[in-house]
Chain A
Amino acid sequence: MLISIGVIAALPWLLASGYWRGILVLCAMNVLLALSLNLVLGYTGQLNLGQSAFFGIGAYVSTILIKTYGWNFWLAALAAVGAAGLVGVALAAFAVRLRGHYLAIASLGFAVITYQVLVNWESVTQGVRGIYGILPPVPNTVALFYLVAGIGLLVYFLLDNLVHSPVGDTLRAIREDEVSAAALGVNAAVWKAFAFGLGAAIAGLAGCFYPGFVGTLVPDAFGIVESFTMMAMVIVGGMGTMIGPVIGAIVLTFLPELLRGFGELRLMVYGLALTLVVLFMPGGIVQAWIAFRNKLA
């Protein structure tokens, strides 16, 4: 805990240029998003490809409340987190009836619908023209990084406690075998709704910081590609572990930056990396590391 606080405190001064500080903020946001998806995908075993929608809902609800209704940032963030969480519970209504690929496509369809609503509901969202001149809640990038990274750390430890509590056991029981879990008296519907709602709320929380960081808000930031990116972070890092998605988020935020020299081949390498990790490190970086350490010992 102390070490991670120390690392977070030192990072903006180790990577001191404005550009790299921006990447750090992005990285902290990605960590939050990966943590949010991991709760649903990794611990509850629900194939959710709609996480980008909650990120978008958080961003739009908070920004509209601030810009149009003049709300205070924190109040707006609270409302946005609540809204994303509620929509997450609503999506869980599908998860109660559907499993596996059906849920994957249903949640993907949900993400597409959310995206289309953002594009078409112009009177509220400004559609593809976008919302401009959005200010971050704190004056500079370093402060924004400390804020988002601090929240990320807090969320990490809260989730860590959660998954090591009986609630975590319940979620894992649903993941491993829903029928057996139900036979043991687990109300799978309620707990799925809980996981979806909490996961969505955390993604919505990440969404609150995104518009202020970028300064503008357009629907394209919340397309289904964003869901794929989050999923890649969780898988590459190691899903169903707490630290895995954090590592995945860090690696996949910085890897494209380090590959910038490859120009247009950059994203190609990213796709290749994703496929290769699934093929050759099925448990992600975390499991590969454990296996490597065991081999040394």
Chain B
Amino acid sequence: MTDLLALIVQQSVNGVYLGCLYVMVALGLTLIYGVLNQINFAHADFVTVGAFTAFFTVTRFATKVLGIPDTGAYLLSLFAALGAGALLGWVVSAAVFAPLRRRGADELRPLIATIGVSVLLENGQLALFGPIPYQFDSPLARETIRLGPIFFSGQSALVVAVSVAAIAALYAFMRFTFMGKALRAVAQDRETAGLMGINENLVIALTIVIASALAGVAGAMLGPVVVLTPFTGASLIVKAFAIVIIGGFGNMEGTIIAGLLVGIIEAFTVQYLGSGLIDLVVFAMLLAMLVLRPTGLIAERKEENV
């Protein structure tokens, strides 16, 4: 009996760790949707870019050029990935979202344009890095932390810590800063916020940059635990969308809960049904959710989309 309990707790811990990674990716999608009512299909490819940035920071720049020991190098790579994600977000915002917004495009065209960006990023990285998987080590992944019968790696502790810190920082930003308030105002009503003197284009660009930075960091944390190829992020995107919908489009709390829920369900699916069925279970959940409660776990104001 205690064995079963230990197993359940252990899988829940694994699930929370996985869920935190999902939350980091899905939060960005939800932020962008909340402010812009648009889907960024290339979002998960920013995760890949973050992972490759971390890879080169750890294996080349930090250890070879700066001569930092590997734990420091890995922590530095988190910031490098954050910067890479933010930069990429700014480029996509300025080159794709802003021109389409000026033209007053419908919901379809930005979606297609970002599908194009996604194909471009994936194959650009394929041309640069080749199809052979990359592997790099997080020194934290080698540490095992033991709490009674429960085991977890230092890497999963880091993922949970960074995710909690990122979410806390995001909430503090939204609550206590002027830009955060402006962001919420634009999310509620873009035109009125513009009339009140808020520079909506700046707010939207900032939102995309923040969302993409989160994706970059997620990539740096994901990099050491997966086989890193140009298509690593792409396998995440549909699941991230599922989480955003299960949580309710544009709803941050809902996305966090849904992300953790999907992580935990995935951990138990691996334990009891086999890893081949993960996507099937997650998407069956998505479709069930859409039929039973299309507004998401936490109902939102965007009735017009349902």
Contact = CB atoms under 8 A, between A and B. Distances in A.
Interface in A87-113: 94, 97-102, 104-106, 108-110, 112-113
B51 to A, nearest CB: 19
Given A101-B107, A113-B284, A275 B120 contact: yes
B242 A274 contact: no
Contacts of A285: none
Contacts of A98: 290, 294, 305-306
A100 B249 CA distance: 12
Please provide the 6 A-B residue pairs with the shortest distance between their CB atoms, ordered closest to farther. Answer: A271-B119, A274-B116, A271-B120, A275-B116, A267-B123, A278-B113
Contacts of B245: 102, 105-106
B78 to A, nearest CB: 28
Given A47-B111, A113-B287, 10 more contacts: A97-B290, A101-B305, A105-B245, A109-B242, A116-B279, A116-B280, A268-B126, A271-B120, A275-B116, A279-B113
Nearest to B295: A102
Given A102-B306, A117-B280, A120-B277, A275 B238 contact: no
A76 B304 CA distance: 42
Contacts of B304: 99
B123 to A, nearest CB: 4
B148 interface: no
Nearest to A224: B238
Interface of B: 33, 39, 96, 99-100, 103, 105, 107-124, 126-127, 238, 241-242, 244-245, 249, 276-277, 279-280, 283-284, 286-287, 290-291, 294, 304-306
B287 A109 contact: yes
Contacts of A77: none
A94 B291 contact: yes
Interface residues of A, number: 42
A267 B119 contact: yes
B45 to A, nearest CB: 10
Nearest to B124: A268
Contact residues of A: prevailing secondary structure: helix
B280 A120 contact: yes
B305 A102 contact: yes
A158 interface: no
Interface stretch (A15-23, A65-73, A195-203, A228-236): A228-236
A270 interface: yes
Interface of A: 41, 47, 94, 97-102, 104-106, 108-110, 112-113, 116-117, 119-120, 224, 228, 231-232, 235, 263-268, 270-276, 278-279, 282
Nearest to B92: A275
B212 to A, nearest CB: 17
13 contacts: A47-B108, A99-B304, A99-B306, A105-B286, A106-B290, A228-B119, A235-B108, A235-B109, A267-B122, A268-B124, A272-B120, A275-B96, A275-B116
Contacts of A278: 100, 109-110, 112-113, 116
B96 A279 contact: yes
B126 A264 contact: yes
A231 to B, nearest CB: 6
A272 B116 CA distance: 6
A274 B113 CA distance: 7
A231 B291 contact: no
Contacts of B100: 278-279
A102 B294 contact: yes
A231 B119 CA distance: 13
Contacts of B122: 267, 271
A47, A94, A267, A278 pick with most chain B CB within 10 angstroms: A278
Contacts of A279: 96, 99-100, 113
B238 A97 contact: no
A266 B124 CA distance: 10
B127 A109 contact: no
A231 B96 CA distance: 18
Contacts of A116: 277, 279-280, 283
Nearest to B245: A105
A94, A100, A235, A266 pick with most chain B CB within 10 angstroms: A100
Contact of B120 (A109, A232, A263, A268): A268
A117 B116 CA distance: 27
Given A264-B127, A268-B120, A97 B291 contact: yes
A91 to B, nearest CB: 10
B279 to A, nearest CB: 5
